[in-house]
Structure 1
């Protein structure tokens, strides 16, 4: 008898019944939720049977906490079991709050089967009480400082941006009403005449344009602040003073002084432009002025013998320049009074017409009587020791009094007049007396580069002044100049002549250019 094969219909029916039962179980779980083991954090403490029902799509959890026991002053681990809320894996629905002595450490979840969390053991993380307070303090500190730091950084950025925009807009406003454009055939004289007429120089944008077009020809001198070059702009000669990077304060100050309203004067060095040029690793601070081929008064006197006319012309023009500096001009756009603070023959230039002009304003001080304020700028350097007044050398000068600064200028100017008059030949009766050779003040009393102590000893302690040659007493012109000089370098600042007084005195001389003395 042949063996009977199993009926395929019956097997398929059996598998279908099993699949139906599984589907019903899944649907039941989705509809009724998950049954979880509960201990410690159960929803209903009055009806506790060791289980809780998680809502559909939720999980069972097992947690480990460290709890601080106040009575024993110790930390201990405590396990809890229960149900999580629907779609919330990080918060426990049955938990109302945590006390300040509790620190949750770790939570593990599952939903594979009913009571799946009963044997779920998350990793125990041991608690160190000394670390927790510090961590909380650092967290609180970061929560406070980070927002404040961000706000402060934002404030700094906004301030810088605002000042930049304010500077740019003020620059545009400064140039806008002038409508000054450099034409192809314009000369420097044309541009200056077209400017505002306030005597404060060309507009800033025009200055930058000119500075970029300057061609340096050759070096013509060096000083403690930088190097002076002969330059050309459209064929015109200009002087270009290139400051050392360590003397940026001098460049800033001199630029400010030259751009002072109503400063332009025939006996003040003509200012053209100022700019900063960067060439990769090199930064150049440029100051562009009129070029005077005869150079400084110091250079000019060494090679030139003067007659009465040229001596008076040099002296009078210098006094006019200093007088213009010292004078305050009142008005809507007035000029402040300015003290030079470094008057010497090297800072005075000789023009082709035989007059002088004052230069080098890196140490200058502004004064406005209306608010009684002195503006020293950011440059704290002092003047040239050889030309310092006694009150500067013995440090008794009142730096808050502008009159004291003016009188210190007049002492230095007295020494410059002495240098000029020495180079003037004279006549006595029918005899011509040759001029003395050029020398610096106190050449016979101090070394070539005197120290502060050297000058203090000679000027203040011993009360020495440069020698007055005997021949000056036999000539009325030189005798009058001698008197002016001695009143300028008087030990008492209040007894010194003002620049205006010297100017009026020298105006009284009526000396013809036809007087030739060789």
Structure 2
């Protein structure tokens, strides 16, 4: 009787596993047009997603609990287009990519503490082939439940700090500046990806300091240091990709370019936040600074020279194995320039920047739909006569915008400074349309007014000459950023001012 019942149970077990095997084979043979990946997100039906890019798996530590994420990554979201995602280019231990069906489900298979369906399936197929008997079936049942009884292995990420220290020695340094000096050594290519992601996950947002069309800017804290966190909305994903890519250009780091720290994406399952982390400057933008404060002639020259120095570094190409391509900003304005504590300036917001490819003599233009600020657009940009296939026109357009920034600063300088106003405030509405700017700048060929009081001040008079040479109607006649830098450096020397006074006395 016992033997008969045992045979019946074995027969029932055989039928059950045989149906399960047929179902598994059917799912395997299901044809798809794209790459199928294992997905553990609530948005994925049947734990499967489909993509034209890559499968990826990642692991992170949240509240001291190790979390695993398996999803698809579309090719359109990679930069440069067609390349692997930025976090898959380096051999990191916490994120991996692959390009075959369901290849990501085993990337972290040995990390978990419980058996998964994908671990059980090989055992089931082995039992089917070997024709396991009742005793082996009993042994297999104990085996499948065994992992639950095992003592879980110690997680390699016990706390946030130990995660960083154990996985990258650089995180043992005390400040971000120390880490940057250790990694870049002048190359300016940015921190390693693992360090970027570790820093981003330890930042605490404190308060919001700005808003824009891209999203918000927050002041954050990392190990007692202030950092600026630019949070892009999901619809501005391409802008986030582009700006992070430009900031990590080799040899870009410079004292007059906003210091890049990290880029990371935070997905809570409902929406994705895209973070760009940079140096924090408590004085805010040049626009905010000039709106609230006036400056003397020494500060005017110092600020102007620092902006020109940063722009000259952007425009310059550095030849070599790890050389820097020439870069044009395309949206230079007082709101995209930040004031440091020593009252020099840094150029930020590189989301619209273009790079010059010397080998092919082509321009790497971003795919984003954003355009520059209309008030600061050069005449050739407004009337669409600029040759966008060549790189030099982009640099000349930056120089025009720099001339308008010079005018904004000069208005707030002197014994009797004028109130802050944006360029062309007396010609166009507060939010001008392209037609308004085209009429004033291209048709009427007007430029911001230069007050008579500037002619009696040696520094303001010299600055006004520079700005006029920046906003010529003919782009080829404008100064280069390097020439502007050298001219402003001479204006700031006492000998230059003394010479100007003597020339004025001779004229009188």
Cα displacement (A) at 1:368? 2.1
Cα displacement (A) at 1:459? 0.6
Aligned residue in 2 for 1:375: 364
Matched, 1:171 2:90: yes
Aligned residue in 1 for 2:111: none
Over residues 385-417 of structure 1, what are the superposed CA-to-partner deviations in whole Å (9 max), with x where a residue is unaligned? 000000111110111111001101110000000
Aligned residue in 2 for 1:447: 429
Alignment match of 2:174 (pick from 186, 189, 192)? 186
Alignment match of 1:160 (pick from 54, 69, 79)? 54
Over residues 161-184 of structure 1, what are the superposed CA-to-partner deviations in whole Å (9 max), with x where a residue is unaligned? 599897676311799xxx943444
TM-score scaled to structure 1, two decimals?
A: 0.65
* Secondary structure of 1:210 counterpart: helix
Aligned residue in 2 for 1:457: 439
Aligned residue in 2 for 1:480: 462
* Secondary structure of 2:169 counterpart: coil
Aligned residue in 1 for 2:478: 496
Alignment match of 1:218 (pick from 204, 207, 225)? 207
Over residues 313-367 of structure 1, what are the superposed CA-to-partner deviations in whole Å (9 max), with x where a residue is unaligned? 0000000000000000000011011010000000000000110000001110011
Change (3 A) 1:508 1:184: same
Question: What is the distance in 2 between the residues matched to 1:353 and 1:180?
Answer: 33
Cα displacement (A) at 1:154? 6.8
Alignment match of 1:308 (pick from 294, 297, 319)? 297
Alignment match of 1:227 (pick from 211, 216, 223)? 216
Cα displacement (A) at 1:435? 1.1
Question: What is the distance in 2 between the residues matched to 1:304 and 1:159?
Answer: 51
* Secondary structure of 1:286 counterpart: strand
Q: Which runs of 4+ in 1 moved over 6 A?
A: 154-159, 162-166
Alignment match of 2:226 (pick from 232, 237, 247)? 237
Change (3 A) 1:294 1:169: closer
Matched, 1:410 2:399: yes
Whether contact under 8 Å (2:362, 2:390) holds in the other structure is no
Aligned residue in 1 for 2:260: 271
TM-score scaled to structure 2, two decimals?
A: 0.66
Question: What is the distance in 1 between the residues matched to 2:51 and 2:452?
Answer: 70
Alignment match of 1:360 (pick from 340, 346, 349)? 349
Count of equivalent residues = 357
| CA RMSD between the two structures | 2.6
Alignment match of 2:188 (pick from 199, 206, 209)? 199
Question: What is the distance in 1 between the residues matched to 2:51 and 2:438?
Answer: 51
Whether contact under 8 Å (1:253, 1:377) holds in the other structure is yes
Question: What is the distance in 2 between the residues matched to 1:509 and 1:170?
Answer: 47
* Secondary structure of 1:195 counterpart: helix
Alignment match of 2:273 (pick from 279, 284, 288)? 284
Cα displacement (A) at 1:305? 1.3
Whether contact under 8 Å (2:173, 2:179) holds in the other structure is no
Whether contact under 8 Å (2:207, 2:219) holds in the other structure is yes
Cα displacement (A) at 1:381? 1.9
Cα displacement (A) at 1:151? 8.1
Uncovered stretches (5+) of structure 2, i.e. residues with no partner: 1-28, 37-49, 57-71, 74-82, 95-166, 498-508
Whether contact under 8 Å (1:174, 1:203) holds in the other structure is no
Cα displacement (A) at 1:306? 1.0
Whether contact under 8 Å (1:180, 1:195) holds in the other structure is no
Aligned residue in 1 for 2:338: 349
* Structure that is richer in helix per residue: 2
Return 157-166 or 295-304, whichever deviates more. 157-166
Change (3 A) 1:293 1:154: closer
* Secondary structure of 2:274 counterpart: strand
Question: What is the distance in 2 between the residues matched to 1:185 and 1:263?
Answer: 23
Question: What is the distance in 2 between the residues matched to 1:366 and 1:331?
Answer: 16
Question: What is the distance in 2 between the residues matched to 1:360 and 1:166?
Answer: 25
* Secondary structure of 2:245 counterpart: helix
Aligned residue in 2 for 1:505: 487
Whether contact under 8 Å (1:240, 1:287) holds in the other structure is yes
Matched, 1:246 2:140: no
* Secondary structure of 1:218 counterpart: strand
